[in-house]
Chains A and B, each alone.
Chain A
Amino acid sequence: MEKFLASIDRRYIYIVLLLVVLFPLIRPIGLPISISSWTESFYAVIDQLQAGDIVVMSIDYSPSGGPDVGPQAVAIFDHLMAKNVKVIGVSFLAEGPPQLQQIINPYMEGRGKTYGVDFVNLGYAAGLETAIAAFNADMKRAFPVDFFNTPTNTIPLMQSVTDANDVKVVMNFATGIPGPAEWVRQLAGFSPDILIGVVTVMGPQTEPYYQSGQIKGLLSGLRSAAEYEVRAGMPGSAAAGMDAQSLGHVVIILAMALGNLAYFLGRKGGAK
């Protein structure tokens, strides 16, 4: 039987996976989405922020992992705007600034928000962890101009901040380096709470920072984004993808189960 499985053209498996994931996207099933404790604590930190508080959102994810972590940043930015919290957007990964801009674009015109007053896109600084240290020590020096080449010392939102102690929360959304480790290390000794959003695969390795209280909330992947959307009462693209996520898992698990069944049957047969 194992030989038979090995002889199946891999392209059949690809087609099955593609169709199974596609089906619920076109015809949603509406499976329930429960909220995990990680998302709940992330939400609680954001929810207790007051209008006028300033937070930092660091968009440190690559376009490759963006679809997994980006929806988290979108949901949280929407929530922050609804609460009239001010957001300093920044990036320590070269591909960050345009992706940050995609998140804030809907608020650039209309919706009663003003660029430079309610939010800002500071752009990118090279140097990974070292650049994060420079930013925490003196934000305007590390970013002399924003993404649109406006001097940061003329931007209203930047008038009341010097270093990381001047913001309430720092959020990092990451696909690798720089990520939670770099931010936790370089924010030690500063006052803001740290919240982390990562691609799903980084969730487990970030757990120790969460359990030790070094970070106050942890979102991993599209599932967490879906939970956040539901929790904030603004279901979006992440929640819409959860049915497909479920059926995709079923395909992978069935494939593993079938493979292992064949393996054990083969071994039993061989032993006889």
Chain B
Amino acid sequence: MNLSVGITLAAIMTIACYSYLWRENTLYRIAEHLFVGLGAGYSIAMGWNNVKTNAINPLLNDGQYILIVPLLLGALLFTRFLPGSNKWLARIPMAFLVGTGIALSARAAVLAEFVQQIRATIIPLNSVNNILIVVGTIGVLAYFFFSSKFTEGIPGLKYGALVGRYVMMAAFGAAFGNGVMGRISLLISRLQFIFGSWLGLM
């Protein structure tokens, strides 16, 4: 049994969380609040670290005065907590973040997720699997784009969308099976910690 402070604390935290399975209790609520508080404090520290290393230090040590702009933008984010009519100033940094982020994603998505995926679907229809992949992919797209009243009475689209629905259910089933698997892994790791690292029974 490993009674070092760190491991024992971690074990108590794990047991506190699992106590919820019996019923809601004070120990669990404390663990829950501790978790939220630690996470929030952690984020502030990491954020501050980035501000210091990527903006304040280069500004003060290397004279990169242009970095005053992002520093100012960052500070403006907190105007949302101001009383009165200056809250709107927080929109300026949000506008900058959104504009940059969405443009970077969209410009790359066209090639990486649209063109490349369509290209990968252009395959010879010489096996049952290839046919299923092509028909299934088109079916899902048909389900997304043509499952409206507009397409009622057009049999090709209707059956296409139906195929799409079953294909998606199989995909969701795969995600479900994998999801269960992943959650069991998490349980295994906690048990390995409690019974192995802490109690030394493994």
A residues in contact (CB < 8 Å) with B: 11, 14, 17-18, 21-22, 25-26, 64-65, 67-68, 94-95, 97, 123-130, 133, 142, 144-145, 149, 181-182, 184-186, 188, 199-205, 208, 211-214, 220-223, 237, 240-241, 244-245, 248-249, 252
Chain A residue nearest to B170 (CB atoms) is A204
Chain B residue nearest to A184 (CB atoms) is B112
B201 touches A204 (CB 8 A): no
With A and B bound together, what is the CA distance between A190 and B101 in angstroms?
19
Given contacts A22-B195, A126-B50, A145-B57, 4 further A-B contacts (CB under 8 A): A67-B188, A124-B50, A185-B109, A244-B188
With A and B bound together, what is the CA distance between A25 and B189 in angstroms?
10
* Min CB gap A205→B, angstroms: 7
Interface size on B, residues (CB 8 A): 47
A188 touches B188 (CB 8 A): no
Q: Known contacts A26-B202, A130-B104, A184-B112: does B179 contact A201 (CB below 8 Å)?
A: yes
A186 touches B178 (CB 8 A): no
- B182: contacting residue among A65, A94, A95, A125, CB under 8 A: A65
Instruction: Name the 8 nearest CB pairs between A and B, nearest first.
Output: A67-B189, A200-B182, A212-B120, A185-B108, A222-B185, A248-B184, A201-B179, A204-B174
User: How many pairs, one residue from A and one from B, have CB atoms within 8 Å of each other in the complex?
Assistant: 143
Residues on the B chain within 8 Å of A201, using CB: 175, 178-179, 181-182
A211 touches B195 (CB 8 A): no
- A249: contacting residue among B54, B57, B180, CB under 8 A: B180
Give chain B interface residues in 1-57, CB to chain A under 8 Å. Answer: 21-22, 42-43, 46-47, 49-50, 53-54, 57
B113 at the interface (CB under 8 A from A): yes
With A and B bound together, what is the CA distance between A54 and B57 in angstroms?
28
A188 touches B175 (CB 8 A): no
A125 touches B50 (CB 8 A): yes
B195 touches A200 (CB 8 A): no
A244 touches B191 (CB 8 A): yes
Residues on the B chain within 8 Å of A240, using CB: 192
B100 at the interface (CB under 8 A from A): yes
- B104: contacting residue among A133, A205, A211, A252, CB under 8 A: A133
With A and B bound together, what is the CA distance between A212 and B47 in angstroms?
37
Residues on the A chain within 8 Å of B97, using CB: 130
Residues on the A chain within 8 Å of B116, using CB: 212, 214
With A and B bound together, what is the CA distance between A128 and B186 in angstroms?
25
Chain B residue nearest to A226 (CB atoms) is B185
- B58: contacting residue among A144, A202, A205, CB under 8 A: A144
